[in-house]
Amino acid sequence: MSLPTHIPMQVAGGKTVDVPSVGYGTWAAGETGWCKDATLAALKAGYRHLDCAWMYGVDEEVGTAIRESGIPRSEIFITSKFWPHFAAPENVELCLDQVLKNMGLDYVDLFLAHWPVAFKPVSQQALHKAVTGPGKSDSEKGILVEGEETLKDWEHTSSNLASQEGHEGSFVPTWKAMQKLVSTGKTRAVGISNFSITDIKALLPHQGDVPISCNQIEVHPWLPQTQLIEFHKEHNILTTCYSPFAGQKKDGATLVKDETVQRLAKESGLEEGQLLQSWAVQRGTIPLGKSATESRMKSNLNVQKLSDEHIKALDQLEIPNGDYTGMGRTIATDRPWGVNMFSN
């Protein structure tokens, strides 16, 4: 039995839009040459949801793939994100403008804050010239560093994170700048990524007519994030899931090679990635898996309803205290940039 092909997301004016329930992730370490052909193949395979970000450095490749696909822009849901050195309210739109220019688009469907921490840019002029991608230095990206330290802009960092490091800060001014972007027509909705419950609570009183449409977080059976996802549902915030197959753990273990995952996949007649994507959609979340293999692209997209028994078995893979270093989390496992990012 198939699962929903779309999941509703709240947007401005009390309206909702239907978001394709399986997305295609466009981030990968290393060179970006793979991205155009892989994204084009994904679109031809049936994907209509692309997850992107300024920092990925593949906006031009994604834009080229969209044009070469011949698929009308209106049929593709596109997400992008601004990196923390664009977080000052006066710089948020600048990042969106760069994304649109590089992609060759008039708008994105969803624009997210990539992290609840803010960095200091070299200058606003440097941001106008900023470029990203493999091999680009912090200076070329417009990020201010001192020695090996990325300098934080505590003023525009979430109050939760700033206070933990002995500073005063608030993400609210940045959030209000993001909300204004909706009226420009450059994005249909705005949201966040890697925000904790405490970080979100600080923004809830400031939603107004433009809500927090989405929070994108790492989610997979090792790190199911059940408490955070339930909080999202209480406040009509869509959950999109990066790394739905999990990254490689420090001991080299991978989720797709886990004995339980392989057994369940065999029993259900699914590929391992297809099984994990199905688990995500059945929970009411949107997985953003990535593969460069066309056969796996197709199977990952073809999510199927799992039995209660199989759902329970996957749920039981949760690693206790998985929110913390070396446990269930496989992306940004240590304190990213010296900040305790993942405490609620």
CB 49 within 8 A of CB 286: yes
The SS3 call for residue 294 is: helix
Catalytic residues: 56
CB count in 10 Å sphere of residue 214: 25
CA angle 299, 302, 303 (to 5 degrees): 115
The two three-digit tokens of residue 187, written as one number: 């994005």
Instruction: Report d(CA 222, CA 328) in Å as an integer.
Output: 5
The two three-digit tokens of residue 25, written as one number: 């992730």
CB count in 10 Å sphere of residue 296: 17
The SS3 call for residue 79 is: strand
CB 121 within 8 A of CB 88: yes
Exposed, middle or buried: residue 129 (CB in 10 Å: 0-12, 13-18, 19+)?
A: exposed
Fill in the DSSP letter of residue 117. -
* Alpha carbon separation from 275 to 3, 24, 41, 210, 314 (Å, rounded): 12, 16, 21, 35, 10
